[in-house]
Structure 1
Amino acid sequence: MKFIGFLIFLTIALMGFSMLIFLALFVGYWITLTTVERFNPELANRMVGHKESSEE
């Protein structure tokens, strides 16, 4: 029974740490892209891969 409890704890702890890592990376990317977009919008568009559509 202790082993099952340990596995449940390990699962929850790993899910929590993976969520923290994901959020840290996402927020860092978001802040970086926002800063780059503020100073150089063309570079930010190239980083994201945005292509302007040519409407005729």
Structure 2
Amino acid sequence: MIINPKEKIDEILHSDASNYLETSERLALKNILEKDTISELDSDNLDKIFQKYKKFIKN
């Protein structure tokens, strides 16, 4: 299932993961939200953050 990047960010920010995000991860998420289109690097960073905190995200 492909999830929209903004939906992924919402899942992260509305879960317990938001309590554990590092400053650089918060900035990366903020930058992605502010862009109309995201780069491949941003997409890769989002995937890494999502994988790191997926245990905090409720299904």
Q: What TM-score comes out, normalization by structure 2 length?
A: 0.28
Answer 1 or 2: higher relative contact order, Cα 8 Å, separation at least 6: 2
Q: What TM-score comes out, normalization by structure 1 length?
A: 0.30
Rg (Cα) greater in structure: 1
